[in-house]
């Protein structure tokens, strides 16, 4: 199992992660694509995944930077 951060987008009802990595990598990913981390367009989620990459738990949601 591993803990990481993911970028979630409202356009897909927050279901699929667009990108996963460290917190800094996710912030950079959003900045490079012009996504606002505001809880309306995008948000970041700290998640734990199993050995298959499936999310098994969510620890934190960041709706605003």
48 near 54, Cβ under 8 Å? no
* Nearest by Cα to 5 from 32, 35, 30: 30
Q: The tokens of 15 are what?
A: 């279901």
Determine the average pLDDT of the residues in 50-55. 86
Looking from the CA of 48 toward its CB, the CA atoms found within 13 Å total 5
What does pTM read for this prediction?
0.86
Each residue of 11-51: pLDDT tens digit? Answer: 888 876 789 999 999 999 999 999 999 999 999 999 998 98
């Amino acid at each position: 199992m591993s803990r990481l951060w993911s970028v979630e987008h409202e356009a897909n009802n927050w279901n699929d992660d667009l990108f996963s990595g460290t917190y800094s990598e996710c912030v950079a990913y959003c900045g490079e694509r012009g996504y606002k981390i505001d809880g309306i367009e995008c948000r970041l989620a700290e998640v734990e995944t199993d050995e298959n990459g499936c999310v098994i738990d969510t620890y934190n949601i960041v709706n605003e930077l």
